[in-house]
Chains A and B, each alone.
Chain A
Amino acid sequence: MELTRRNMLTMGSAALAAYGLGALPAFASLTDDEIAKITGGAETAAGELTITAPEIAENGNTVPISISAPGAVMVAIFAEGNPVPNVATFNFGPLNPTRSASTRIRLATTQNVVAIAKMEDGSFQRASAEVKVTIGGCGG
């Protein structure tokens, strides 16, 4: 192929597209690995578990999130686009009636935040929320 300006541009954008497609599943699988460690490969269904996060976070260093999971004994939170996907694991005791909690987390880039809940009957639920991050929160 003759190297014209037009050809160069097409090749460039094709390469970019390929990179974009290649990069996303890499992050997702890291998260999926961590989720599989908790669930042991069991099905995760949508349920009463909810995760609340802002649609747009101006500062990725402190993104307020809250989870609510009636009937859950444990909720783990993962950030798919962070260098390390694990964020926090909440274990609820007998004196916690609502099984909900709020905290503030760091997000490196625009990404999905995933919550996995282990219910009292041993089943698992999954919920996620997309957060657009203007300034990333992982330094570097």
Chain B
Amino acid sequence: MADNVKPRVRVPKEASAGDTITIKTLISHTMESGQRKDKDGNVIPRSIINRFVADFNGENVIDVTLEPAISTNPYFEFDAIVPGPGEFTFTWYDDDGSVYTETKSIDVS
């Protein structure tokens, strides 16, 4: 498992039912592309996050397949509809099999 992988998510604290909100996510990860070489000329093996999924109460918002061309500390910004009160679940899948999850609940008035 990569060191110091820390997901960060920004979701508005509250919204009205049916509102469109903007979500920003960032996860600290080196996203080693597999193209770089170390000092001795050996290729540094690829180690990236290959998939990111955002769900709201089990319904899908966005599902992204990542390739090595995504920058270090993958950042995503996207919109979501809030149909009612509930919880956002964010999941990142690492090349090495690790899965990182983060949840954020939202108050709906």
- Interface, chain A (partner B; CB < 8 A): 61-63, 66, 79, 82-84, 86-98, 100-107, 137-140
Q: Is the interface of B mostly helix, strand, loop or mixed?
A: strand
Cα A103 to Cα B103 with chains together (Å) = 20
B67 pairs with A94, CB closer than 8 A = no
B68 within 8 A of A: yes
Report if A91-B69 is in contact (Cβ < 8 Å); known contacts: A96-B79, A140-B37: no
Report if A97-B79 is in contact (Cβ < 8 Å); known contacts: A88-B64, A138-B33: yes
A-B interface pairs (CB < 8 A), number:
105
Residues in B with CB closer than 8 Å to A82 are 69
Interface size range of chain B in the complex: 20 to 34
Residues in B with CB closer than 8 Å to A98 are 20, 79
Cα A94 to Cα B20 with chains together (Å) = 13
Cα A104 to Cα B39 with chains together (Å) = 27
A94 pairs with B37, CB closer than 8 A = no
With beta carbons under 8 angstroms apart, the residue of B20, B64, B72 that contacts A90 is B64
- Interface, chain B (partner A; CB < 8 A): 20, 33, 35-37, 55-56, 59-72, 74-81, 83
Residues in A with CB closer than 8 Å to B79 are 96-98, 100
Residues in A with CB closer than 8 Å to B63 are 90-93
With beta carbons under 8 angstroms apart, the residue of A66, A92, A105, A138 that contacts B70 is A105
Residue of B nearest to A92 (CB): B62
Residue of B nearest to A64 (CB): B75
Cα A79 to Cα B69 with chains together (Å) = 8
Report if A104-B75 is in contact (Cβ < 8 Å); known contacts: A90-B62, A96-B62: yes
- Say how far A84's CB is from chain B's closest CB, in angstroms: 7
B72 pairs with A139, CB closer than 8 A = no
